[in-house]
Amino acid sequence: MKVIHFDSRDQNFVTVGDHERYFLLDRPGHAPLMCNDTCPHRGGPLHLGTSDERTGAVTCPWHETTYTRPALERRSPATVRVGTRITAVLDIPADMPVTLDRKQRILANECL
């Protein structure tokens, strides 16, 4: 296991190893989640999807597969926010490299 910390004002993406990516899904009225960015259906980038403001579900931009909030939570590492500080516990070896990527636009966090 590996614990990561970052300030959500500066970062909102995490890259694990060479290719596994997580993004911070941070919608009003819902607890923050570090979501796996890869759609399990066809590998689409979930951070470019749309989200339902009421339910917190995210829809993949490639094939319109919708993932409910509980489904996203099952695929997400434990995540806690205190102010703007995010802490997540990744189920990876402690020596696996993790990169905190600069803040990027996450469409799934926007009301469209």
- Residue 14 sits in a domain of what CATH number? 2.102.10.10
Cβ atoms of 75 and 35 closer than 8 Å: yes
In a domain, 25, yes or no: yes
* pTM (predicted TM-score): 0.88
Q: How many domains does the chain have?
A: 1
In a domain, 61, yes or no: yes
In a domain, 87, yes or no: yes
Range of the domain at 80: 2-106
Cβ atoms of 112 and 30 closer than 8 Å: no
In a domain, 32, yes or no: yes
The partner residues of 15 in beta bridges, in order of sequence, read 21, 99
In a domain, 64, yes or no: yes
In a domain, 89, yes or no: yes
Cβ atoms of 16 and 90 closer than 8 Å: yes
Task: For 45-84, write each residue's pLDDT tens digit.
Answer: 999 999 888 888 999 999 999 999 999 999 899 999 999 9
Please indicate whether residue 107 or residue 50 has the higher confidence score (pLDDT). Answer: 50
